[in-house]
A and B are shown apart, each in its own frame.
Chain A
C-alpha cells in the first residue's frame, strides 16, 4: 500500500463550484497533516495545516478522520486562480519525522 494515496484527477469544475479532494495515509502514528498547493512548474506552497479534526480558512476546509486515516480538502466557490495541483502531506509518525508527499490531485477550474 502506498504511504499516501490521492486521486490524480484531473477535476474539471466550473467557476463557483464546490469541489472536494480525498486522501488516505498508511501511517497511523502521523500527528500533523498539510495540504500544499503547487502551480505548474513552480514549488509547492503550504495551503493549510491540520493538527486536530480539521481546519478552515476562508473558502478552504480540511477535515481529518484519524480512525479511517483519511483527510479531505473542500474548496467552495472555486475561482480560476484555484487551478493547481493539491498535495496531501502527512508528517510520518514515529522514527519517520519527515513529510510524506502524495503525488497530488490536479484541479482545473473552467470559466
Chain B
C-alpha cells in the first residue's frame, strides 16, 4: 500500500512565524498535492506538483509556497503564518489521477 506521511499531526505556531509542513510518499509517485480543509468549505487545493522542481498554483495559493527538491517529498511553506491559516492540511499523491489519490493523515495547524 502507498504510504503518505505528514511529519506532524498537530502544530501550534505564532502569528508571523515561518511554518514548514512536510509530506513524504514511498511509491515513487510523480504527482503530489496540498489541500486545506475547513468546516463547510471542503477540500481546497493550495498547490500541486507533477514532477521534481515543478509546481503549479491551485485555487488558493496566496500566503503559501511549496518546494519539491526530491520526488518523494513535497513541502508546504507558510511564509508568515496568520490566524486565518488555522486549518487541517492534507497532502496527497498519485501516479495517475485516473486512479484517485492517497492522502496523508493530515496536520492540524493552529496559528495563535
Name A residues whose Cβ lies closer than 8 Å to a Cβ of B: 31-32, 34, 41-46, 49, 87, 89, 91, 97-99, 101-104
Name B residues whose Cβ lies closer than 8 Å to a Cβ of A: 33, 35, 40-43, 45, 48, 88, 90, 97-106, 108
A61, chain B: closest CB distance, angstroms: 18
When distances are taken between beta carbons in the complex, the residues of chain B under 8 Å from A31 are 98
**Pairs A–B under 8 Å by Cβ, sample size 28:** A32-B99, A32-B100, A41-B88, A41-B108, A42-B105, A42-B106, A43-B90, A43-B103, A43-B105, A43-B106, A44-B90, A45-B103, A46-B100, A46-B101, A46-B102, A49-B100, A87-B43, A89-B100, A91-B97, A98-B33, A98-B45, A98-B48, A98-B97, A99-B100, A101-B35, A102-B42, A103-B40, A103-B42
Q: A41-B108, A89-B100, A99-B97 are in contact. List 18 more A-B contacts (CB 8 A).
A: A32-B100, A42-B105, A42-B106, A43-B103, A46-B101, A49-B100, A87-B43, A91-B98, A98-B45, A98-B97, A99-B100, A99-B101, A101-B35, A102-B42, A103-B40, A103-B41, A103-B42, A104-B42
When distances are taken between beta carbons in the complex, the residues of chain A under 8 Å from B48 are 98
**Contact (Cβ within 8 A) B104 A49:** no
B109, chain A: closest CB distance, angstroms: 13
Closest chain A residue, CB of each to CB of B104: A43
Measured between alpha carbons, how far is A101 from B46 in the docked complex, in Å? 13
Measured between alpha carbons, how far is A97 from B48 in the docked complex, in Å? 11
A106, chain B: closest CB distance, angstroms: 11
Given contacts A101-B42, A103-B41, contact A34 B100 (CB under 8 A): yes
